[in-house]
A and B are shown apart, each in its own frame.
Chain A
Amino acid sequence: MLGKPACNRRGELVKEMIIQLTTPLGDEILDLRAGDRVELSGRIYTARDEAHLRMKAEGIPFDPKGAVIYHCGPVIKDEKIIAAGPTTSARMNTLTGFILDNGVRALIGKGGMNSTVREQLRGRGVYFAFTGGCAALAASHMTLKGEHFPDLGMAEAVWIIELDHLPLVVGIDANGNDLFEKVMKHASREAQKRE
């Protein structure tokens, strides 16, 4: 599927490929590069701080092989997803290792993650960025399929969601390329120039 025309670094119009992926994910994700645009379909699982802690203590309540975790605390009403944008992934920096060790292949969130997670992803998984604040758009690409840990409350429970072509960007690839790190290195250099 071809995306709409965009400009490359030289300002030329290019037709950008949008890569189509469906869960469960396998080795195809190892070929992704930071900056690639992707549309993801299939089943994913939301998890924030409390869900990670619970899964660490009690085990993962779904098959983690090839699974995708979405850092998200949605708004649900009458068993429908009303709003489901990403939350700040960095809060899960210290809680992600065991998830990947169990076979989870991708994370979706916003803001990126630290160098520990970048290394944990190497050779086995990727981090997708979804646009922060785009909760209505996200909900329009989602169907609710179920819930784990309902006692954690709406924001912290694990929600099972079926995705239909959610538009994402590869933020960290399986080769250690990290778009967020690259951007912040540039920002730090710009800030140093001011001194």
Chain B
Amino acid sequence: MQRREPEDLYKALATATCRAMQEAVIYLPADVKRVIAKAAATETNPVASGEYENITKNIAAAEHLGVPLCQDTGVPVVYLTLPQDVPFSPVLFDAVAEGIRQATVRVPLRPNVVDPLSRHNSGDNTGNGMPAVHVRPGKRFLVTVLPKGAGAENVSRIVMLLPSQKEQIEEVVVQTMLIAEGRPCPPVILGVGIGGTFDSAPALAKEALLLPVDYMDAFEQKLCDAVNQLGIGPMGLGGTTTALAVKVKIAACHTASLPVAVNVQCWANRHATVEVNW
């Protein structure tokens, strides 16, 4: 059997992370492009139609020029799936950070990562706890990158409902968008995490953004319709579609709790997955 060194793992994962980041900030996933095209086709408000015109041209310009869709190239949120033969070690985290540093120079990405209090910018999109790396077991060695912009992240919410308040889940979702107004660059995609704990519900909400957005079950569709009733429209300028999709992820929770988290995502629901060849 071929002996594989930690340095090989480091190089392979760093390269894959850089590639995933590059892909994520330039090319929108096909399902996201489909829901945007559908919203553009059904819009009747002329101002909103103008916004879709810009969005559609922008997606094409980014692809054509090979440059980021949005100047807010976000902070790096990274998901790793590890098959049994990949050793869990600090090498994984170092390699992901290296991939982000490489992407910052190569793509380029805007250096967004700062110390929360001194506001000192590291200049390379890494820092204490950043990139945020989530590791889970899987059949294939994959790195998924979700660059998260601040406009939408800043209006995301967690509400600790009580078990008797199940009916208020829809209200939490609608209120989140009402409070957000045009700030998160609608039309948005809402990731909703229900259950878990105070810390895991928002993590679920963020992971929900990775689900295919061109399909919604009846519950997700009901939440989406309720949000679209608000008429906030693209960029808060008014229109038929405020949310392109609502995606829900659920986890078991305490019998006395009902955490509900809403992670707001702008129309540019950027993420990309690359297999690590190791």
Partner-B contacts on A (CB < 8 A): 4, 6-9, 11, 14, 16, 35, 37, 72-75, 77, 82-85, 87-88, 90, 110-112, 129-140, 153-155, 167, 169, 171, 179-180, 182-184, 186-188, 190-191, 194
Contact = CB atoms under 8 A, between A and B. Distances in A.
B230 A191 contact: yes
B33 interface: no
Does more than half of chain A's interface fall in helix, strand or loop, or is it mixed?
A: mixed
A130 B229 CA distance: 24
18 contacts: A11-B44, A83-B67, A111-B235, A112-B236, A130-B54, A132-B185, A133-B70, A134-B57, A135-B71, A136-B61, A136-B62, A154-B110, A154-B111, A155-B111, A182-B238, A184-B181, A194-B171, A194-B226
Interface string B90-128: 000000000000000000111110000000010000000
B61 A140 contact: yes
B71 A75 contact: yes
Closest 8 CB pairs of A and B: A132-B185, A137-B58, A134-B58, A136-B62, A131-B54, A83-B71, A136-B61, A187-B230
B46 interface: yes
Contacts of B53: 4, 167
Contacts of B181: 111-112, 180, 184, 187
Interface string B171-182: 100110010011
Given A111-B182, A112-B236, A83 B49 contact: no
Given A16-B46, A35-B47, A136-B65, A186 B231 contact: yes
B10 interface: no
B202 to A, nearest CB: 21
B195 interface: no
B268 interface: yes
Given A85-B70, A85-B71, A194-B171, A187 B108 contact: no
Contacts of A131: 51, 54-55, 58, 234-235
B231 A190 contact: yes
A183 B49 contact: no
B68 interface: yes
B175 A134 contact: no
Contacts of A155: 110-112
Contacts of B44: 7, 9, 11
Contacts of B68: 75, 82-83, 135-136
A83 B235 CA distance: 18
Nearest to A140: B61
Interface in B179-220: 181-183, 185
Instruction: Report which residue of B73, B171, B235 has the largest number of chain A beta carbons within 10 angstroms of its beta carbon.
Output: B235
